[in-house]
Each structure stands twice: as C-alpha cells, then as structure tokens.
Structure 1
C-alpha cells in the first residue's frame, strides 16, 4: 500500500520551473551494521514500480550526507535506501532549501526545514494517537467480560479514531497546495470520510483530478457518499424476474421503511444472512416495511432458483451483470451482502445491519 500510494502520488507530479537552491541532507542510521555500506538517494522510476538512483555515499560512524539543488517553491519527495541487508523501508524527505536532518531507525525522524519539521510534528501526533488506540484495545480485551465496560471502551476508542481522522484531514487540507499535503491526502483516503476525500480531491492539481486514476477515485467516493446516513437514496431502474422494468422509486418514498438488499445466489454469506432478513420481513411487512432485493447475479436461472428456494417474496431487480451491475457502480458496492435501510422520506437511516440488528432497528422505527 505504501509503495502504491507513493507511485500514484508521483505519477501526477509535474515539472516545476523555479529557482534552484541548495539543500544538505545530514543523515544517521542507528544500526552499526551499515557502517562502511552505501546508502542511495533515489526517486521513483517512470513506471512507478521501482527506484532510480540519483546518488550514493558511504556510511561512516553511522552518518552520511548529500548536498543537492532543490526547487524552492514546491519541494519534491526523495528517498533514502540502504545497501543489503535491508532492515528498513525507504525513508523519505522533502527537498526543501536548507539543512535537513534524517534519522533512520524503527521510526524515522526528519526535520531541519519548515515542511520537514511540519511533517515530523504530524507524524508524532499520529504515533501518539495510535499508541492511545492500542492502549484502549488492550484495556478493552482485559475488561471484555466485565459488565458495563464494553460501551465505555468503545466510545473511548471511537473518540481517538475521530481525532486521528481529523488530524490527517486537517494536515492534508492545510498543505494541499504542496507536495506533502497531496501525499498525505492520497495516503489517507482509507481512513477519511467520503466527504473529506471529495473535498481534498477537488483541491488537488488538475493533472490528478483529470487523470484516469483521479476520475476513478472521485467516482468511487461519490458512490460511497451515497451510503452515508442522512443522504438521500439514488433511484435506479433494472429488470424484475419477469423482465419488466422496476425502479427503487416504485417502493422508496411510499410511506414505508425500505431495505435495499444487495445479494447474489452464489454468495454464501448472503444465503447465511437471509433467514434473518426473512424473519424481519415476515414480522414487519404489515407495519410499513418493504424489501427490494438487488442481485449481483449473472445467470438468470440461478437468480430465479435462489429466489424460489429461499422463499424471498419481496420485489427483486437485477441487470444480470454481476459486479458490473449499474446498481453496484451507482452505490459503490464492492462486497456483499450489503444493505441500506431507507426511511419513509427516502433518506438513508443505516447500512449493513446484520442478524438481530435489523429487527431491533425496525422495532425502534415501526413498533
């Protein structure tokens, strides 16, 4: 993941015409085994699957240094790799004018210039929050069987995760106009909300936004954003088992709570979950509850056979295109079973309720 993010980041980097100035990297390695061995100053190659050596030097007394020219407006990322045996992942720094310090260890440290200092402060905060999360997990494991502590531990962990998420978002946004901010944004997508990702991508360079990768990222997170609680549902028309057009709007917004159930006949977890869905339907279908099944099947015979075999008596739709289904693309579905619970006004209430969670939620809404 680390290498992929770096590759994607540098893929959209463009040459910058600016005055060249000097930077000196003063590095140290805590491990004595590298004395007398080489370290390499590198950048990613053009195919983004390896490194190009820019220069090399020999480690002496656990120290090394490079002096190079730097672009003074938008610093580039550069990497330091060690000669075998390789005990550390490539360390990186920003080519900012001035004296830069880099310590290669279990946790690397960079500093000496404003943006490298800023990134180190950010890294320290991330490390601190990650340590807090680990502490909470350990406490939760120890107290798991103690009544009354589970909810407290869960809330504490969620609060730290929220702070971790917000710190990554804020740092990326504050620095989005330089290489460092764009790098942090690209490496943080998996922990940010769809709204945050879409905002950051809107602020990135046109070269990224308009690239194939950029368009894929934007489309994916726009679809994910449709599944956030409070968001309005998006309508789609597919075919029912008889080949007739059927739309979500035929059922959503008709004074009923509607469960959109993404499933397939070949999906073992879907089949395993189905008795819970059937129980909920039988219990609440006369109280204002409806289900619309959206199948990721490709073969009509298997789709229809599963509907009959499982006694799924609610409306069904599919375009029989599997993962290329228009519904999967629209809602960003990349795993099943997946469900969306829609309120009477057409807004998402919750997602992916499992087991008794669905019945408990329907009890809250309809009893």
Structure 2
C-alpha cells in the first residue's frame, strides 16, 4: 500500500475580492432561510471556521475587510459538512451558485483561479462518472470472479478501472502545463507529488515552469522546501537501495517487541529468514497475512524465521492485529509510521514488502509470494 491521495477537487465555490477586502455572493436552492454559511480554512487538524453569514431569501452575502494571501478556503452550507466546497481567495468579482438537488453542478464565475477550478471540476466529474458507471456495470462480474477465484478476470477489471483513473493524472498534467500562472496548478502538482504519480524529475520540472507569482506564494515556498527535502531523501533512498540489493548482506537493525524487549535481525537469523514489512492499517498486508501464517507453520520447525517490522504508529492497533491475524513470529516496531528508520534503511516505500535471507544473512530475493516464495524457502532449507 503506497501513500496515495485523491487527485481531483470535488466541487468549487467562489469568492470576489475588491480593494476593501473580498465579497462572496451566493444563490442557493434547496436550503431553508437561516441556514448558516461558514468560511473555513483547512489545517492539519481539520477545518477551522473563520467567519459566517446566513441564507436569506435564497441568497447570502459575505464581506471581509481584508483579503488573505491567495489560498484554498472552503464554503460550508449548514453544520454537517455535507455541503463543503473549495474556493480560492483572491481579488476579483465573482458569484457562487448552488442547488441542493444537483450539488455537483455548483457554478462559479469571475476570478481567474475560481473559473479555472470550475472548468477543471467539470472535466473531473466526467471522469468520476465514467468510473462510477464502470463499477456499477462490472460489480457483479467482479464479485462472481472473486468467488470463483478467477484471478485473470479480476485483474482485467482492475486494469480497466486503473486505466480510467489514470485519466485524472493526464488531466492534471495537461492543466498544469497549460496554466503555469494558476494557483490551481500548484495545488494539483502538490497532490500529484503526494500520490507518487510523477517521478521526482517531472515534479521538479513542472514546479520550475510555474510562474514566479505562483512559486512566491506561501504554499509555493513550502513546495520548494519540500522539493529540496525530496531530493535529499531520494539520494538517501538510492544509496540504501544499493545496500539492500539481492546479493548484499542484510543490514542489521533492532527495535522493540510489543513487550518492550529490544531484538535485532542478526540475533534472530534462521536457515532462512523473511523480513516482513507490514502494518495493522495496511489492507493488502492483512490480506496476505494468512498466507504467511501458513508458510510459517509449514517451515518453522525446519529452520524458517520471520521478523515482522511494523510501520504502525499506535501500539494497541499493532498488538490487536498481531493477535487477530495469529502472527506468532518475532514482531518489532518503532511505531513511527512511514518515518520508521528500518523501513528507510531498507528503502521501503510501499508495503507489504519482504526480504528473503539465507543462513548467512545474505539477501537472496525480494517480495516473493505464493508458490514462488514457498519454493525459495524450501530451497534454502534443504
């Protein structure tokens, strides 16, 4: 499971700004008079309400004496966050139009970035609809294949939907290329970078091609700083990757067990050893665990050792997953999520990830599953 994030905005709202601040004017259908309209700013802890007004006669108007630096804010209609729409705070004169019966058709006119966001959303909605239609048309087929163990059909359907989902990436890349002076391009590039959809050199080129006005915003400067960190991390990862290549001696490491005892790799080598990177929150890891349990039970008395390295951050969740999945081999964790030093040492960027070692601690294979893994362990235990 990689660190993935959604790429598309879901809807757009709009703001107008003037020399005395900014004004939001809205037309709303389907919500009663007196419904609160909140202006929200998002941070690492969620949404913070900046100010509010209310709907009267199907309209609302919000005025501010100050215009904050260009950034992404949200209009919230009501208190449940059911109707939450992003908009860009910037100078200009614009209007927000919303109909409860058709929330996806929210309309914006006026300022440059909000107009661009609206046109972007219209295209993104078409892709979203294509995905939803495909899922609806093929859900029964997928469930039937899953029950029959028809891996070929399941993989074919997953490949088809991945192809549709990749249209989001293509849309974003095209948008960024043709709108280099848009703040929206910076937001989309940030999401692309977080989703691992682009290589680092591509990210750097797209960012360098943005206008100086965009790069000099607060988020632009933060992106530039993160880009430098990414470059440093890539160099470290490449160096570590060479150290854990097949044929190399596995680097030693140590961490705490659930009971607080420190255990190391070299102190726990068997005739064959599997280093298993996983986490309680990782769906693919949990799905694979029964297969690993079966393999361990088959070969543990012949010299197989497994060391589970968890990328959990909550000890209780980690321990519960160990018990629920019946993982009886050695388990260790630093409880540091993706900042786990062992994962970095082994250049692990997606889980589950496995390293297979021989009796001397030499890496002989990586990420084997099923029959291939069974055959490799049997070979090592001869």
Q: Where do residues 21-40 of structure 1 align in structure 2 (5 Å cutoff)?
A: 24-31=23-30, 33-40=31-38
Q: Deviations over 1:25-67 (max 9, x none)?
A: 3312221x332444344546898752221x635432x222345
CA distance in 2, matches of 1:163, 1:335: 23
Contact 1:270 1:336 in 2 (8 A): no
Q: Which residue of 2 aligns with 1:81?
A: 76
Equivalent positions of 1:147-158 (< 5 A) are 150-158=154-162
One of 58, 61, 68 as aligned partner of 1:65 = 61
Give the root-mean-square deviation of aligned CA atoms.
Answer: 5.8
2:93 counterpart SS class: strand
Q: Select 1:120's aligned residue among 118, 121, 125.
A: 118
Alignment correspondent of 2:172: 168
Contact 1:101 1:112 in 2 (8 A): yes
* Superposition deviation, residue 238 in structure 1: 0.9
Contact 2:113-2:182 at 8 Å conserved across structures:
no
1 or 2 for the larger relative contact order (CA 8 Å, sep ≥6)? 2
- The aligned counterpart of 1:140 is 138
For 2:70 and 2:158, locate their aligned partners in 1 and report how far apart those are by CA, in whole Å.
Answer: 41
Conservation of the 8 A alpha-carbon contact between 1:194 and 1:222:
no
SS at match of 1:80: strand
**Residues of 2 paired with 1:220 and 1:278: CA distance?**
42
Q: 2:199 aligns with which of 182, 195, 202?
A: 195
Deviation at 1:239, TM superposition (A): 5.4
Is 1:93 the counterpart of 2:90? The answer is: no
Relative to structure 1, is the Cα distance of residues 191 and 83 closer, same or farther in structure 2, using a 3 angstrom cutoff? same
Deviation at 1:332, TM superposition (A): 6.2
Instruction: Give me the TM-score of the superposition, normalised by structure 1.
Output: 0.55
Q: Which runs of 5+ in 1 are unaligned?
A: 6-18, 247-257, 282-290, 298-309, 363-367
Gaps of 5+ in 2: 6-17, 208-218, 245-249, 255-261, 268-272, 280-284, 311-326, 358-362, 378-382
Deviation at 1:159, TM superposition (A): 0.9
Distance in 2 (alpha carbons) for counterparts of 1:152 and 1:36: 51
What is residue 184 of structure 2 aligned with on the other side? Answer: 180
The answer as to whether partners of 2:40 and 2:47 remain within 8 angstroms in 1 is: no
Offset, 1:127: 1.8
Residue 296 (str. 1) matches residue 309 (str. 2): yes
Distance 2:183 2:110 in 1: 17
Instruction: Provide the C-alpha distance between the structure 2 equivalents of 1:208 and 1:46, rounded to a whole number of angstroms.
Output: 16
What is the number of residues matched between the two proteins? Answer: 297
Which one of the candidate residues 53, 56, 60 is aligned to 1:56?
53
